[in-house]
């Protein structure tokens, strides 16, 4: 096998580089590693979302938790019909509309599977355990925590309208990349109401140990949420100038890691 001249760069990145060469192809080990990473990404997309188990993990958090559903009745429908994931089911909408609308919530937080239930299950509890106490200590009025199955980002707009919330924050699994099946994304929107677009949101992506650690993500989100409330806006008008600390190089001994495909 002919060595790759980029081999020395592998200490700086977990991307799939410096694979080497065996004749006109890549070495067998690298090909097998690629197939394994691809299989893990597919598994992450198709994995079921156990909302009850996840909700039980939130019992230690300082908020009540509600389990809701989108209009997508199952995983395959959710993947084939993105529009159904952007709307609440009739039962879930009625549940929210039955809450006390006289309460003026500063923020509603949602957790969903998105395209990786693994990401939501692994990282959302730890992230919220750090973020929610900071928000409550700063005087934020937080609506009940919502776990929404088979939801797309835009469902937070309908939920924000139902609860008359000033802001929404949605955590959901991002589209898996090869080697990043557990990447969590966080989307915040000021004054969430139906009709909002992606230009009205801020996104913090690749939340996972090999990407943006939950400790740093919690600080970053806390900063963004506070500045969004102060400036009364989000999206392209809200500049993200949070200084992310430098990280140690990733463990390049793991051959299946690569840059996330967000």
- What are the backbone dihedrals phi and psi of residue 223, each rounded to the nearest 5 degrees, phi first? -65, -45
Q: Environment class of residue 236 by beta-carbon count within 10 Å: exposed (0-12), middle (13-18) or buried (19+)?
A: exposed
User: Nearest 5 degrees, angle CA 101-CA 103-CA 109?
Assistant: 90
Q: Provide the CATH topology of domain 45-237.
A: Rossmann fold (3.40.50)
Instruction: Encode pLDDT of 122-177 as tens digits.
Output: 999 999 999 999 999 999 999 999 999 999 999 999 999 999 999 999 999 998 88
User: Which pLDDT does position 250 carry in this prediction?
Assistant: 47
Residue spans per domain, the chain: 45-237
Confidence category of residue 45, pLDDT binned at 50, 70, 90: confident
CB 169 within 8 A of CB 109: yes
User: Is this model's pTM higher than 0.85 or not?
Assistant: no
250: three-class secondary structure by DSSP = coil
User: Which pLDDT does position 258 carry in this prediction?
Assistant: 36
Q: Which of 180, 28, 35 is nearest to 19 (CA)?
A: 28
């Amino acid at each position: 096998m002919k060595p790759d001249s980029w081999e020395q760069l592998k200490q700086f990145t977990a991307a799939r580089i410096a694979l080497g060469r065996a004749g006109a192809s890549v070495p067998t080990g690298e090909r097998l590693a690629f197939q394994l990473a691809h299989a893990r990404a597919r598994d992450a997309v198709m994995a079921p979302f156990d909302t009850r188990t996840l909700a039980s993990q939130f019992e230690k958090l300082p908020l009540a938790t509600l389990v809701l559903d989108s209009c997508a009745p199952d995983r395959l429908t959710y993947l084939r019909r993105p529009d159904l994931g952007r709307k609440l089911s009739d039962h879930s909408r009625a549940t929210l509309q039955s809450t006390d609308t006289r309460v003026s919530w500063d923020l509603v937080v949602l957790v969903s599977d998105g395209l990786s239930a693994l990401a939501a299950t692994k990282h959302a509890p730890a992230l919220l355990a750090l973020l929610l106490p900071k928000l409550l200590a700063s005087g934020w009025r937080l609506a009940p925590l919502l776990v929404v199955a088979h939801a797309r980002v835009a469902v937070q707009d309908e939920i924000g309208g139902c609860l008359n919330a000033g802001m929404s924050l949605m955590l959901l699994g991002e589209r898996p990349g090869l080697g990043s099946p557990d990447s969590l994304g966080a989307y915040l929107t000021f004054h969430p109401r139906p009709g909002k677009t992606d230009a009205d949101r801020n996104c913090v992506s690749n939340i996972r140990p090999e990407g943006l650690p939950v400790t740093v993500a919690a600080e970053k989100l806390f900063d963004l949420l506070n500045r969004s409330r102060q400036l009364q806006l989000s999206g392209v008008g809200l500049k993200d100038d949070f200084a992310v600390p430098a990280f140690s190089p990733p463990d390049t001994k793991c051959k299946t890691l690569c840059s996330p495909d967000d």
